[in-house]
Amino acid sequence: MTGYLEEGLASVINQCRSPMISFCQRLVRTPSLPGEEGDVAESVRAEMELLGYDEVWVDDWGNVVGLVRGRGTGRSLMFNGHMDHVDPGEVKDWPYAPYSGEIHRGRLWGRGAADMKGPLAAMIYAGGVLAREAIHPPGDLYVAAVVQEEVGGLGTQKLVQSLSPEIAVVGEATGNQLARGHRGRIELVVRVRGKSVHASVPRQGVNPHAVLARFIQRLETLALAQDETFGHSTVAPTVYLTDQRSSNVVPGEARVHLDWRNVPGETREDVIAQLQPVLDACLAEVEGSHGELLVHTRELRTYTGRIEAFPAVFPSYGLDADHPLVLKGQQVLARVLSRPVDIVTWDFATDGGHLMEAGVPTIGFGPAEADRVHTVEESVAVEMLVEGLVGYTALALELGRGH
Ligand SMILES: [Zn+2]
């Protein structure tokens, strides 16, 4: 599996196998919901120091960055993986407890195992293989363990304001194939106000549901943007809320959240320009109603105490299938893994969108299966993690070569 890697390095990777798996288990056993990544960040920092990274630091937002210094002959490279994970939901629905990190049937189980503590452990150990052997990659290698990806990517968006590598690899699940982009995600909120009254006399009020019912129905008639690779944009109404908890009162306000997945090239301005006339028409049909359409902004608090108002937007992106970075990545991986490597696109949005928006060409390589992500079957095959470690080590050695 280690193709052209010299024998010495192959044996170091072999020695790293079991400490990498134990490290991954420790990460899974440490819960780290968005905004609560402090304990995991401490484990990551300590492990990078133990592995002999040249420098390790934690930025104001709580991102942990490890540096393996390059020879200065090539491009700087960032491996990017997030430390947070989604909520595990009902513990009883899981085959193994969500924070157990247990290994059964060759798989390491738990919330975050696939998304993405497994890939994160593999990239941290790839940097560790080089650090331990005092091998300098062509350009500086930054391994970035970031915060708050699951709530929009605050960590990466802040990180790239102060650290701009020339190329990047995001470790979201690709089943060890190579990804070149994804649709974006824009969360919108439509807020409609009417007039609240006793539900026994609805005609004396203005019911905001009447507007939103029309609006939601018309979403199905929208002509959505198309893309040859990524299919078409989609829109799904998700959360629906009113200002009432009593079921015998006509609410004064109702709002619906929309999850819009945009193909590359479609901006948030385009989306608003398409939706606003639809909302205006629905408002006009219900006398006395008012409403607005906004990109949803969350107030996020990092575990380090920073508070940021953050728009829930992941930019879309797509590198061409014949982009030099895509071809180079595919060639390096196919050679070292001794098998064909497919070029794929992700179904979901990643921090790659923020990296690309900051001008950093980004590919994806993640040792985990996408269909395990955000499910109670979340787990990662141990052999896939080991293959991931080999892949990351080769990418660290090769991607930065030449300009
Ligand atoms: Zn993820």
What is the CA(111)–ligand 1 centre distance, in A? Answer: 11
> What is the rounded distance in angstroms from the CA atom of residue 181 to the CA atom of residue 71?
30
Q: What is the pLDDT of residue 391?
A: 97
The domain made up of 184-300 has a fold known as Alpha-Beta Plaits (3.30.70)
Q: Which tokens go with 393?
A: 């080590």
CA distance 227 to 184: 13
Domain coordinates in residue numbering, the chain: 7-182+317-398, 184-300
In the numeric block, which tokens belong to residue 305? 């105490």
Residue 29 CA to residue 99 CA, distance in Å, equals 5
What pLDDT was estimated at residue 360?
Answer: 98
- Residues lining ion ligand 1 (Cβ < 5 A) are 115-116, 172
Interval between CA 366 and ligand 1 midpoint (Å): 10
Per-residue pLDDT tens, the chain, 403 aa: give them.
555 677 778 889 999 999 999 999 999 999 999 999 999 999 999 999 999 999 999 999 999 999 999 999 999 999 999 999 999 999 999 999 999 999 999 999 999 999 999 999 999 999 999 999 999 999 999 999 999 999 999 999 999 999 999 999 999 999 999 999 999 999 999 999 999 999 999 999 999 999 999 999 999 999 999 999 999 999 999 999 999 999 999 999 999 999 999 999 899 999 999 999 999 999 999 999 999 999 999 999 999 999 999 999 999 999 999 999 999 999 999 999 999 999 999 999 999 999 999 999 999 999 999 999 999 999 999 999 999 999 999 999 999 997 5
Strands (E) across 22-149 are located at: 55-58, 64-68, 77-82, 103-104, 107-109, 141-146
- For 7-182+317-398, give the CATH class: alpha beta
For the entire predicted model, the pTM comes to 0.91
In the prediction, which pLDDT does 4 show? 61
Distance 401 CA to ligand 1 centre (A): 28
Q: How far is CA 282 from CA 188, 276, 278, in A?
A: 17, 10, 6
CA of 229 to the centre of ligand 1 (A): 22
Burial 265-300 (b: 16+ CB within 10 A, else e): ebebeebbebbeebbeebbeebeebebebebbebeb
* pLDDT for 5: 72
Tell how far the Cα of 176 is from the centroid of ligand 1, in angstroms: 15
C-alpha 11 – ligand 1 centre gap (Å): 30
Q: What is the pLDDT of residue 7?
A: 72
Dist. CA 367 → ligand 1 center (Å)? 12
Q: Residues 323, 328, 334, CA angle at the centre, nearest 5°?
A: 125
Ligand 1 centroid vs 116 CA: distance in angstroms?
Answer: 5
Residues whose CB falls within 8 Å of the CB of residue 403, separated by 6 or more in sequence, listed in order = 74, 75
The answer to whether the beta carbons of residues 352 and 307 sit under 8 Å apart is no
Residues in the chain, total: 403
Distance from the alpha carbon of residue 181 to the mean position of ligand 1, in angstroms: 14
Scanning the structure block, which residue is given the tokens 């390589």?
365
Between the CA of 3 and the centroid of ligand 1 the distance, in Å, is 29
Q: How many A from CA of 247 to the centre of ligand 1?
A: 38
